[in-house]
Amino acid sequence: MQNLSLNKPWVWLLINVAFWMSNDAYAQTSVELQEIQFSGDIDHTLPATGGGALVSNDDTIVMFDLSTGTADSNEFLGNLDNADIDAYHDADNCSDRVFSLDASVEINNTTMRPADVFNSTGNKTLDAQTEGIADGINIDAISFDPATCDLVFSVDIHTELDGTVFAPDDLIAWNDNDGFRLFLAGGMDADIDAVHLLDIENRVLFSTAVDVEIGGSIFQDEDIIERVPGVPDTFFELSFSPSPFDPTWEPTDLDALWVMRTPLSGVFHWETSDVEVFEDAGSISVMIVRTAGNEGSIDVSWNTIADTATAGADFVDTSNVLTLGDGVSSGIVMVNLLDDAAVEGTEEFIIRITAVSDGSIGTPQDIRVIIRDDEDFIFADGYEG
Ligand SMILES: [Ca+2]
Ligand SMILES: [Ca+2]
Ligand SMILES: [Ca+2]
Ligand SMILES: [Ca+2]
């Protein structure tokens, strides 16, 4: 598909409309990551969790914790002689932890070929021979479509599958029923050798097999690049590079990738900036909303602040916490009002969001409650007389 001509290098084709539909307007910044699991293609070093240096090789999965800047590692498949783990995805709701190698290896009496995708007990998710992938083809990047759980992968040379020729920078989707289809066309002059499809905004993290220039920026083969689809243009930025942590990454190619992103707690604010109520309404209910993410259970603290309305005379001074559960994007808080017979005109108080247990406070942080005096209201509406 390399010749689906793109007039700009590095504009990825809109192939799967559902994949590209944006669901929410997040800020156009890098997705924050908690942990990155990856593999290199030669021996390399990182700061070890617990101190010292962690020396890893090409069949090791390194778990790098971004909060500490240190790494652990695991040889999930044991020590593989003459084989490099060149594609990897950790367990998630779509899959077990799965791998692909760059050479044929026997695991549990089964031959794992370079285009096989398999778990650590040797069960194949994708069997190259069964699916008709020719010998000599190597799958060099694997992920799963968060929307469908289809396997999404890349190959390392131009490859014909089900009658379509795919390029080394294309992403190919596969499932047992539908076979192979183009997921994203690369259109760049480089081989994608690691990929992770993020479950927000159709963002893609990937690495290339050689250094590459995209939109004026140079990315190294050990870098993780984030593709941000969107408004107004799709753009690419550096997500993470291991090279600042150890010089052994300068010659090392990161060739397998999985990430855990930081939950999007969201931004908490009032639905509206002011609300009117009659003083005999008994209470006022107003809505706190959560935008730019709804992950995790978050406590939102709020309290009333007197203005021209008097706490204890016009409203009940209130300080409380609203908990919005995981996935919940709004909640109602209530303040009791106090009625009196005095003709006092319109009075106002504020309800303020004062703190959130995670995420941030947005605008409006204050909601102004305007209390209409019912005695005044009757007069104003001409019912008297
Ligand atoms: Ca590797
Ligand atoms: Ca492979
Ligand atoms: Ca590739
Ligand atoms: Ca790479």
* pLDDT, tens digit, 9 for 90 and up, residues 61-79: 999 999 999 999 999 999 8
pLDDT band, residue 82 (cuts 50/70/90): confident
- Hey, what domains does the chain have and what are their CATH numbers? 17-261 (2.110.10), 267-380 (2.60.40.2030)
pLDDT at residue 339, as a whole number? 86
Q: Tell me what the mean pLDDT of segment 191-214 comes to.
A: 96
Q: Give residue 191 CA to ligand 3 midpoint distance, Å.
A: 5
Q: Give residue 3 CA to ligand 3 midpoint distance, Å.
A: 16
109 vs 36, residue with greater confidence: 36
Q: What is the DSSP letter of 253?
A: P
229 vs 287, residue with greater confidence: 287
| Phi, psi at 372, each rounded to 5° | -85, 130
3-state secondary structure labels for all residues of 288-299:
EEEECCCCCCEE
Give the ligand with the smallest distance to the CA of 154. Answer: 3
Taking 90 as the threshold, does the pLDDT of residue 351 lie above it?
yes
pLDDT at residue 374, as a whole number? 67
Q: Give residue 283 CA to ligand 1 midpoint distance, Å.
A: 63
| Residue whose entry in the numeric block shows the structure tokens 């993780």 | 224
Q: What is the pLDDT of residues 140-194, one digit of tens each?
A: 999 999 999 999 999 999 999 999 999 999 999 999 999 999 999 988 888 999 9
pLDDT at residue 244, as a whole number? 96
Sign of the CA dihedral running 159, 161, 167, 168: negative
pLDDT band, residue 263 (cuts 50/70/90): very high
Q: Give residue 34 CA to ligand 2 midpoint distance, Å.
A: 26
Give the ligand with the smallest distance to the CA of 253. Answer: 4
pLDDT at residue 311, as a whole number? 96
Q: Give residue 235 CA to ligand 4 midpoint distance, Å.
A: 19
pLDDT band, residue 96 (cuts 50/70/90): very high
Q: Give residue 289 CA to ligand 2 midpoint distance, Å.
A: 46
Sign of the CA dihedral running 154, 159, 163, 169: positive
Contact 365, 303 (CB under 8 A): no
d(CA 266, CA 269): 10
Give the ligand with the smallest distance to the CA of 43. Answer: 1
Q: What is the pLDDT of residues 282-338, one digit of tens each?
A: 999 999 999 989 999 999 999 999 999 999 999 999 999 999 999 999 999 999 999
Hey, what are 262's tokens? 């930081």
pLDDT at residue 187, as a whole number? 83
Give the ligand with the smallest distance to the CA of 77. Answer: 1
pLDDT at residue 81, as a whole number? 82
**Region label for 366, one of left (φ > 0), alpha (ψ between -120 and 50) or beta (otherwise):** beta
Q: Tell me what the mean pLDDT of segment 339-350 comes to.
A: 84
pLDDT band, residue 375 (cuts 50/70/90): low
Q: Give residue 231 CA to ligand 1 midpoint distance, Å.
A: 35
Taking 90 as the threshold, does the pLDDT of residue 11 lie above it?
no
Q: Give residue 255 CA to ligand 2 midpoint distance, Å.
A: 10
* 345 Cβ contact list (under 8 Å, min separation 6): 373, 376
Give the ligand with the smallest distance to the CA of 168. Answer: 3
Q: Give residue 140 CA to ligand 2 midpoint distance, Å.
A: 5
Which of 6-15, 33-42, 263-272, 370-379 shows the lowest mean pLDDT across its residues? 6-15
Contact 302, 34 (CB under 8 A): no
Number of H helices, E strands in the chain: 2, 33
Q: Tell me what the mean pLDDT of segment 206-218 comes to.
A: 94
pLDDT at residue 376, as a whole number? 52
Q: Give residue 223 CA to ligand 4 midpoint distance, Å.
A: 7
pLDDT at residue 28, as a whole number? 60
pTM of the model: 0.79
| Residue whose entry in the numeric block shows the structure tokens 């044929």 | 104
Give the ligand with the smallest distance to the CA of 190. Answer: 3
**Region label for 69, one of left (φ > 0), alpha (ψ between -120 and 50) or beta (otherwise):** left
Q: For residue 179, with 0-12 CB atoms within 10 Å meaning exposed, 13-18 middle and 19 or more buried, which class applies?
A: middle
Q: What is the pLDDT of residues 120-133, one digit of tens each?
A: 888 999 999 999 99
**Region label for 312, one of left (φ > 0), alpha (ψ between -120 and 50) or beta (otherwise):** left
Give the ligand with the smallest distance to the CA of 212. Answer: 4
Give the ligand with the smallest distance to the CA of 159. Answer: 3
Taking 60 as the threshold, does the pLDDT of residue 107 lie above it?
yes
Q: Tell me what the mean pLDDT of segment 107-115 comes to.
A: 94
Contact 92, 108 (CB under 8 A): no
Q: Tell me what the mean pLDDT of segment 372-380 comes to.
A: 61
Q: Give residue 115 CA to ligand 2 midpoint distance, Å.
A: 5
Taking 80 as the threshold, does the pLDDT of residue 29 lie above it?
no
Q: Tell me what the mean pLDDT of segment 193-214 comes to.
A: 95
252 vs 15, residue with greater confidence: 252
Taking 70 as the threshold, does the pLDDT of residue 377 lie above it?
no
